[in-house]
Amino acid sequence: MWIIRWFLIAFMIVLISFFIGRNMKLDPISIDYILGETDEISPLMVMFFAFVAGFLSWFVISLFNFFKMRSELSAKDNLIRNLKQELNSYRNQSLTINDESEKTVLLDAGSLRKSPLPEKTPDAPDKD
């Protein structure tokens, strides 16, 4: 949608510049290039070609940026989808402790270690 809007804006600018040029009497100019020289042309045509060249270069750069952002967004969507699947797999896991009386303790840096549960002895008082 943004492309259509900018084309309409560019078209309006071209129409306005033609209207201004038709109502102004400007002396024709010639432009020297490396490969040669142009015939005498209206300054309005020079402005028009400069505008078109600038607009087309802006458009090409914008398209590259658009596709770059679109691919980044797609990559982020894939990452989110994978993380959601991983989260759902963790949700479906059992939260009960094994029959062998082992618990999983989370250490720093995300590494896991299994350690046996402390056994209650009748001599020791509860610390709760």
Report domain extents, the chain.
2-91
* Separation between Cα atoms, residue 3 and residue 39, nearest integer Å: 35
Q: Could you tell me the pLDDT band of residue 78, with boundaries at 50, 70 and 90?
A: very high
* Separation between Cα atoms, residue 103 and residue 96, nearest integer Å: 9
* Separation between Cα atoms, residue 88 and residue 98, nearest integer Å: 22
Q: Does residue 108 have a pLDDT over 60?
A: no
* Separation between Cα atoms, residue 3 and residue 74, nearest integer Å: 21
User: What is the reported pLDDT for 71?
Assistant: 95
Strands (DSSP E) contained in the chain are: 102-106, 112-116
User: What is the reported pLDDT for 107?
Assistant: 45
Q: Could you tell me the pLDDT band of residue 32, with boundaries at 50, 70 and 90?
A: confident
Average pLDDT, rounded, for the chain: 76
Q: Which amino acid is at 26?
A: L
Q: Could you tell me the pLDDT band of residue 75, with boundaries at 50, 70 and 90?
A: very high
